[in-house]
Structure 1
C-alpha cells in the first residue's frame, strides 16, 4: 500500500508519498481501507518531532480516518467486511489502509458522507471527553480559545447544545464565523482578550476554559476563571512552561488540569469512541452541531495540507482524500 512517510523531522518537505508494508489486523482489530483522513495540529507536531506516538502505535501520521472495513482480526464479532466506519487512531491514518482496535471504530453519523465523517471523530472525542472531565453543566459558561479551528468550531456548538453560554477568542476576520456557530462573546485574540472577556461578563469570568494555547495563556486563563472555575489544557501551541500563581488559584478554589486523548489506555479510548456515537452523532444528524467548513486535499499532497493548516488562514477542518 501507499502512505505518507517522514524522511526525518522538520517542515512539510520531509513528507513523502511512498510504498510501505500493508498492515494486518491482530486479534481484536479491524483493518480499514481508507476513504479520508482528518488533519489535526498534533500531526504537525509529530512531523516536527515534538509529539511521538505512544508505544506500540504506528509511526505514520494520522489520528482519525473514515473508510470501509476490508479485514477482521480474530475475536471481532460486531463488524463485517464492507462496513463503513470512522476510526479514532493512535497513528497510521495517512495511509491507504490502517489497522485499529475494534472498539475504536463506529458507524458515521446519519446523513454525513464518508469523506466528511473523517474529520469528526477526533474533535468530537476530544471535546466531549474533556467537558466530561471538568463537569461542564447546562447554565455554565465556557471560554474556547481558537474558536474558528476544528476543535473550536465543534466546542462552541457542543457547549451551546448543552445549554451553556459560550465565549471564544479568534482572529478578527473569523469572529463572525464564531458568532454564527453560537458564541455569545467573540473576542479578537490580538488585543487584550482578558479585559474584554471580564467586561463582557461583568468581571465574573467564566466557569470553564478549553485551552489549546498552553503556557502563554496560563496566567490570563486563571484570571479569567470564576470561583470554582476549571481550566483544561489540551494543547501547547504557545509553550510548555509558565509560572502558576498558586495564591490566585487557592482564592478561586480553581482547578487546572491537562489531558491527552492519544495515549489513553485502549479501554478508555473505546469507551469514549462509543460514547461519541451515542451522544454526539445524534447532535450532528439533527443539526444541533454542524460539521466544520471543510477543505479537501488528496492524501498524496499531505504536505500542502500541512502548509495550509500552519498558515492559520483556513476556517474549519482539512480532510485528506484517498482515491
Structure 2
C-alpha cells in the first residue's frame, strides 16, 4: 500500500502568535527573543526574514540586519497551549502523529478516522480548521513518504500546500538543490558541491558505497533520498534520549572568563530548545574538544528536572570546574547535552529528533 503522509508546519509560529495577540506588531519586523549582547533570536516574523533575520541568529547580528527590529520576550506557556490545540486537531484524523517540535508534525493518513480517500483534502481541511481555531496559518506538504512531505510543506510558504505524487517524485528530486535535502546542512552542502554534487540528479550518479565513504552513515540516506525513497514510518511514540547544543569557536579559548561566556551562550541555547520541545532531564553532560581534537566529557545527574537557564549554567560551571587542565590547553569546541532515561521525563511522549548544530556558524 502506498502511504499517504502529510507534513504540517506552522508559519513563523512564535512570531505569528505574538502578532496575533498584539495588533500593534502586525506587519512589523519582530523577533521572539532578547536583544542583549548574548541574546539569540528564537523566531522571526516574515517581515523580519526579508532583512535576513533568522532563528538561532545572535541578536546583535539581527539588529545590524534590521535596525528597526522589535524584540519580544517569549511566552512558552502560550506557545505550548496553542501547540496542544493544533495537535488535538491532528488527532481528529489519525493517531499516527509524529511531532517534530511544537509547530510541526508528520501525519500518516493512509488509514484515517474520517475514512477519507484523499490526503490532499485532509490537509486542506486541517489547515482550515487550524486557522478557524487559532487564527494562525500553516503550510502543508503531501506525499507518499516523510522525506518528500517535509520538503513539500516548505515549497509554498506561508499558508501554502504542495503535493508530490509518486509519478512526479523522481523528476522533482532530480531538480532539487542539495541544500533542500533532509539532513544536509551548510557544511555538508559545501562538501557535496566540492565533489560536483549540486542537485538530486548529481547525487543520484553516486553509488551508495561512495556516498557512505564520503559522508558516513548519512551517505546511505542521501543515496535513497536521491531516488525519492524513504521507508521511515510515522512514529507517534518516539522517545528522545538527549537534547543539546555545542559551539565551535572562531578562535581557540583558554581563559576561564571566555569559557564562562561561551558556557552562558550555550546554556541559553539549550534552555531555548528544551522549552520549545518540552524536554526535561536530570543529567547534564559537558563536552570539550581541545585544539588537538581530543574530546572529553563530564556528566552529573541531579534529583530534580533541569528546566531553567540558571540550573543549566550553574551545573555547567560545576562540570567545567572538574576539568583538571582547563587553563593549560586551548579549547576549540564546547557543548552541553541534557540526557535522561525513556521514562524519566513527564513529557517524553512528545519529543522530536533534532541534530545539534553550531549556532555561530
Structures share fold, TM-score greater than 0.5: no
**Under a length normalisation based on structure 1, what TM-score does the superposition of the two structures give?**
0.26
Q: Which has the higher contact order (CA 8 A, sep 6+)?
A: 1
**Under a length normalisation based on structure 2, what TM-score does the superposition of the two structures give?**
0.24
